[in-house]
Structure 1
């Protein structure tokens, strides 16, 4: 039995040395620069909106031009377009609000406001009017 121990130990070392460890997880890819710019612009506009400065929210959304959000991920682009529509609505620029909702529906045909948003006294009716214009 003693003569088998060195062979057994050697076999265990060889087997242990043959096991492969899984490859490391790939490093997360850096976010595209265009997406970073779009997110930063959207965050600044959202902050202005939250502070009640709707004119600043609109100017921030438009500061980078359409191209800032055109190259962004669809969810970021939609959020920016929706914030622009809401900003027009609360700034009492109803025609621009409806037009922005039409642009959203052109880009995202299945878009719907959530229940609470549909009940808003200004942008709920503006959105419904945009939907009717779309037909």
Structure 2
């Protein structure tokens, strides 16, 4: 269930429909991903953060990255992601909020 929901959200994101990606991720409520395997849960949370960022909802993007860091304290963006002009700074801001 969680993997299918994630795949539908990823497809919407890839098509540039960020609002649909977000609504798909939220369609099953938080519980869909809470019970999912950690990798699926992390992928869903990361996709949600990226969707907020590209939809120019920066406070929500930062908050989502903070939720990721709360759930996965050792999480880091990869090198290419850290260099992204929107979510790189949002992630760094979320990391600073955790301290």
TM-score, with length taken from structure 1:
0.73
Distance in 2 of aligned mates of 1:119 and 1:128: 11
The alpha carbon displacement at 1:57 in A equals 0.0
Distance in 2 of aligned mates of 1:40 and 1:133: 32
Runs of 4+ in 1 over 6 A off after TM superposition: none
Distance in 1 of aligned mates of 2:95 and 2:58: 14
Deviations 1:36-74 (A, max 9, x none): x00000000000000000000000000000000000000
Gaps of 5+ in 1: 1-36
Gaps of 5+ in 2: none
Instruction: Give the CA RMSD over aligned residues.
Output: 0.1
How many pairs does the alignment contain?
99
